[in-house]
C-alpha cells in the first residue's frame, strides 16, 4: 500500500483517481486543486506517490513536478495527460516524471501506472 497525493483542477477527476487508488489498496492522503497546493501538500505529507494533471489553473503540473523533484529527486510522480499533450508529456519525462496516465483512462491503466512508478525499490531498505 502506498500513500498517494492526487492533484487535478477538476473535482470529478480527483474523485475518480481517489476511488481507483483506494480500491487498489492505496491510501489517498490528500487531494489538491492546483500545482501550488500539490507542492505544499507534498512538503507537508511526503506521500509515496503523486498524480499530477499536466494542465491546471494557477500553478500547472509541470511547474509542480519541477518543484517536487527539485526538493525530492526520488519523488514518484505520475502525470495525467490528455490526447494532444505529447509535447508536454515529453517535457514532463525530462523533468523527472515517473509515468503517465492518459485521459480518458480505465481503472487498470491507473493501477498499472501507479505500480510501475512505485516499482520494487519502494520495499527496499
The three cell numbers locating residue 83? 490526447
Which residue segment(s) compose the domain that 99 sits in? 3-120
pLDDT of residue 16: 97
Q: Could you give the angle at which helices 11-23 and 107-118 cross, rounded to 10 degrees?
A: 70
* Structural domains in the chain (count): 1
pTM (two decimals): 0.92
pLDDT of residue 85: 79
Name the 3-class secondary structure at 33: coil
The three cell numbers locating residue 123? 520495499
Q: Which of 68, 50, 49 is nearest to 8 (CA)?
A: 50
Q: Which of 54, 60, 53, 65 is nearest to 11 (CA)?
A: 53
pLDDT of residue 122: 45
**Could you tell me the CATH number of the domain that includes residue 7?**
3.40.50.2300
pLDDT of residue 125: 34
Instruction: List pLDDT tens digits, range 11-49.
Output: 999 999 999 999 999 999 999 999 999 999 999 999 999
Instruction: List pLDDT tens digits, range 98-122.
Output: 999 999 999 999 999 999 999 975 4
Compute CA distances 89 → 6, 17, 54, whole Å.
18, 19, 8
Please indicate, yes or no, if residue 125 is contained in any of the structural domains.
Answer: no
Amino acid at each position: 500500500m502506498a500513500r498517494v497525493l492526487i492533484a487535478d483542477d477538476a473535482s470529478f477527476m480527483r474523485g475518480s483517481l481517489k476511488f481507483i487508488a483506494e480500491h487498489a489498496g492505496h491510501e489517498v492522503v490528500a487531494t489538491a486543486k492546483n500545482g501550488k497546493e500539490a507542492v505544499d501538500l507534498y512538503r507537508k505529507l511526503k506521500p509515496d506517490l503523486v498524480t499530477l494533471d499536466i494542465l491546471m489553473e494557477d500553478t500547472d503540473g509541470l511547474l509542480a513536478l519541477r518543484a517536487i523533484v527539485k526538493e525530492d529527486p526520488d519523488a514518484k510522480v505520475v502525470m495525467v495527460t490528455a490526447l494532444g499533450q505529447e509535447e508536454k508529456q515529453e517535457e514532463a519525462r525530462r523533468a523527472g516524471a515517473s509515468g503517465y496516465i492518459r485521459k480518458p483512462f480505465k481503472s487498470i491503466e491507473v493501477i498499472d501506472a501507479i505500480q510501475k512508478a512505485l516499482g520494487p525499490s519502494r520495499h527496499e531498505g
